[in-house]
């Protein structure tokens, strides 16, 4: 009996050549972006040796191939299905081009983002995934030319590929077993590339970086923005596990937070504490100004420079309590908001506000002051929807009123629309609220968040064009000049309206201006201006020990002598006898600064330390860092960070 053969329509040579050339082109683009990153941001990579740099490029191919195979592999497989019509090939080609352009867009966005954080995009995607309309507006407004180029490239690739397929798509009857064999080989190659390794073990991921890289800088060279973005969205896939014992961590964290003036009051809530001495409550007004992207380098009273754009703030620093070594808890605003608003450090793996953190019991200064008859308000210059902070402040933390850009009247004739609002209008609006409260004899807590000094640093009014608009730095300095004027006018209002001497003003940056940091040096990257100004209440002085945004809650509790319990990962910044440190989140890594030195750690190993990595000091700093990190994760996992209403049930 004659054996029956099964045939299908194929053109293997054409499909193989087209697929191979396309994949090599995409891989070349990924490598080109890595090279451009290395050259453009050379100060970041300057510490790498030639050998480390070469290894970074070579190992980077593994990460590139892994993510390329993940997204393009299935489409290549579809391309090899035995369809006779060229329309199938054109459809697959259009899909390949579309996915590749989307990856190219992400690479471009990552290239633009890299100098902001000195690393690739990661958990930031969680924060902006609900901000699609704003991101589209921002991209169209500032990078329309890049989007047009990418759109033109996509159209050109699609058109060229369609014509090529139409010309060369000439399938012939081919044994079916050959198609099956080719498809199996393609699937096997794609699977191997995605895994990034042969043999057993888990697929290539961010967790492999500590084992194959010498430091975080080399890790950044190996990675690409598409890989880091994708893995950051995968259920904590990029977050290493902290192996420290929970009980040991909580015990050690208590030592780091031990203040002779405080007492820990609960084993169920091990970091919740209370002021020992039962002093009379100080009904002072609290006016907090969280300053967008203010950087010590450009504030003359902090840097000793002569930019001349912060005369009002310089007078405040001279007459207030100036913290020379204050540090932000992260490189994005949400980290500063979390630390100053609640005393919580957003460690890797912990959900952010609007994504679950607010479902836990957290210290609320507003609730404590509401009970004492205060008027409380949160006011930000950006839209109410930004980070959902207006809703969270009011509905979760008990702030009585919240306001955003939509609620604030326009007071000056501005030349350009500001994406993040106007600081003068914001602070005058807040001053109106303060005056209304003062007239009623009611103390107030006002938390304001400025925005004019946020990139892209748009023009305000002509009198603030102190520098020619010829560079991003000059544009920033002009907006800083305007923002400083807004602060000066706020204090003028407070003086004229009669509530200046009854108010404690807190001026603190949310983070530094990323583009001002030419290297990844820890001290410079996170150092922020911080001044407490309370004329007639606090004498002027400069404090040189390290403090952070996490110290704000304990500091205010001590200043006002609030007896209710609180939880915070900081201490009273004004108490020289309390332990002082800064605890920082850097993407998937952590950092810790004390008077003795600093350390960077990825929960697996030390990546950088001011002392020798094998020294007792380095081991001690690592223990401090890991204990705080583990305590935060552990306490929020079972909602034992803070007791409901501050009272143990």
Peptide bond into 456 cis (omega under 30): yes
Concatenated DSSP letters for 401-416?
EEE-GGGSPP-S--SS
Which is more confident, 431 or 132? Answer: 431
Residue 358 and residue 636 in contact, taking contact as beta carbons nearer than 8 Å: no
Q: What pLDDT, in 10s, does the model give residues 511-540? A: 999 877 777 889 999 999 999 999 989 999
Residue 452 and residue 420 in contact, taking contact as beta carbons nearer than 8 Å: yes
How is the chain split into domains, by residue range? 7-232, 281-543+590-632
How many angstroms separate the CA atoms of 256 and 480, rounded? 36
How many angstroms separate the CA atoms of 633 and 323, rounded? 29
Q: pLDDT tier at 239 (50, 70, 90 boundaries)?
A: low
Q: pLDDT tier at 237 (50, 70, 90 boundaries)?
A: very low
Nearest alpha carbon to residue 117 among 274, 268, 228: 228
Both tokens assigned to 27: 């891989």
DSSP 463: G
How many angstroms separate the CA atoms of 36 and 60, rounded? 14
Q: What pLDDT, in 10s, does the model give residues 256-268? A: 999 999 999 999 9
Both tokens assigned to 137: 């507006």
How many angstroms separate the CA atoms of 365 and 105, rounded? 42
pLDDT at 110: 86
Q: Alpha helices of 80-143 — where are they, by DSSP H? A: 86-117, 124-128, 132-142
CATH fold of 281-543+590-632: Alkaline Phosphatase, subunit A (3.40.720)
Residue 468, helix vs strand vs coil = coil
pLDDT at 356: 65
Adjacent-strand bridge partners of 600: 591, 608
pLDDT at 269: 93
pTM for the full predicted model:
0.77
Both tokens assigned to 634: 């552990």
Q: What pLDDT, in 10s, does the model give residues 166-192? A: 888 888 888 888 888 988 999 999 999
Residue 240, helix vs strand vs coil = coil
pLDDT at 128: 53
Query: What number of residues does the chain have?
Result: 649
Block residue for tokens 């404590």: 368
Q: pLDDT tier at 1 (50, 70, 90 boundaries)?
A: very low
**CA distances (Å), origin 623, targets 58, 69, 216:** 34, 40, 20
Adjacent-strand bridge partners of 323: 543
């Amino acid at each position: 009996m004659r054996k029956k053969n099964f045939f299908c329509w194929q053109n293997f040579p054409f499909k193989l050549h087209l697929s191979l050339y396309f994949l090599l082109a995409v891989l070349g683009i990924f490598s080109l972006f890595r090279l451009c990153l290395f050259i453009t941001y050379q100060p970041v990579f300057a510490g790498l040796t030639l050998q480390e740099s070469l290894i970074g490029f070579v190992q980077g191919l593994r990460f590139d191939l892994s993510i390329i195979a993940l997204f393009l592999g299935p489409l290549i497989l579809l391309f090899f299905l035995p369809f006779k019509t060229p329309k199938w090939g054109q459809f697959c080609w259009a899909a390949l081009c579309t996915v590749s352009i989307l990856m190219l867009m992400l690479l471009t966005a990552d290239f633009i983002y890299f100098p902001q954080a000195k690393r690739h995009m990661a958990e930031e995607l969680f924060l902006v995934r609900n901000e699609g309309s704003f991101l589209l507006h921002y991209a169209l407004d500032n990078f329309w030319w890049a989007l047009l180029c990418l759109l033109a490239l996509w159209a050109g690739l699609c058109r060229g590929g369609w014509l090529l397929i139409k010309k060369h798509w000439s399938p012939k009857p081919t044994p079916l077993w050959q198609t099956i064999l080719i498809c199996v080989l393609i699937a096997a190659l794609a699977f191997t590339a995605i895994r990034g390794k042969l043999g057993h073990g888990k697929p290539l991921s961010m967790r492999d970086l500590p084992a194959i890289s010498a430091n975080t800088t080399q890790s950044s060279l190996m990675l690409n923005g598409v890989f880091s973005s994708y893995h950051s969205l995968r259920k904590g896939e990029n977050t290493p596990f902290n192996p420290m014992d929970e009980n040991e961590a909580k015990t050690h964290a208590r030592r780091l937070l031990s203040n002779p003036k405080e007492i820990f009051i609960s084993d169920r809530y091990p970091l919740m504490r209370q002021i020992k001495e039962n002093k009379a409550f100080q009904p002072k007004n609290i006016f907090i100004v969280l300053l967008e992207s203010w950087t010590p380098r450009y504030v003359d009273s902090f840097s000793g420079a002569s930019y001349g754009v912060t005369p009002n703030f310089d007078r405040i620093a001279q007459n207030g309590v100036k913290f020379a070594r204050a540090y932000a808890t992260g490189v994005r605003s949400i980290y500063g908001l979390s630390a100053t608003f609640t005393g919580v450090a957003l460690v890797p793996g912990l959900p952010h506000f609007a994504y679950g953190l607010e479902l836990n019991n957290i210290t609320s200064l507003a609730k404590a002051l509401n009970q004492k008859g205060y008027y409380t308000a949160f006011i930000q210059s950006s839209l109410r929807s930004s980070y959902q902070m207006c809703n969270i402040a009011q509905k979760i933390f008990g702030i009585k009123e919240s306001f955003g850009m939509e609620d604030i009247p326009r007071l000056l004739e501005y030349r350009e629309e500001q994406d993040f609002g106007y600081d003068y209008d914001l602070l005058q609006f807040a001053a109106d609220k303060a005056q209304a409260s003062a007239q009623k004899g009611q103390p107030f807590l006002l938390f304001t968040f400025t925005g004019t000094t946020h990139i892209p640093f748009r023009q305000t009014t002509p009198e603030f064009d102190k520098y020619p608009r010829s560079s991003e730095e000059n544009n920033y300095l002009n907006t800083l000049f305007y923002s400083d004027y807004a602060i000066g006018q706020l204090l003028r209002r407070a003086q004229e309206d009669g509530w200046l001497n009854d108010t404690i003003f807190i001026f603190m940056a949310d983070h530094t201006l990323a583009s001002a940091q030419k290297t990844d040096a820890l001290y410079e990257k996170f150092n922020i201006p911080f001044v407490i100004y309370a004329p007639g209440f606090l004498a002027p002085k400069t404090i040189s020990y390290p403090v952070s945004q996490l110290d704000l809650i304990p500091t205010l509790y001590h200043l006002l002598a609030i007896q209710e319990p609180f939880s915070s990962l900081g201490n009273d910044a004004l108490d020289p006898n309390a332990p002082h440190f800064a605890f920082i989140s850097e993407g998937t890594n952590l950092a810790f600064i004390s008077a003795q030195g600093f350390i960077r750690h990825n929960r697996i190993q030390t990546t950088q330390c001011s002392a020798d990595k094998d020294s007792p000091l380095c081991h001690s700093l690592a223990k401090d860092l890991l204990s705080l990190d583990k305590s935060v994760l552990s306490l929020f996992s079972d909602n034992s960070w803070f007791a409901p209403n501050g009272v143990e049930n």
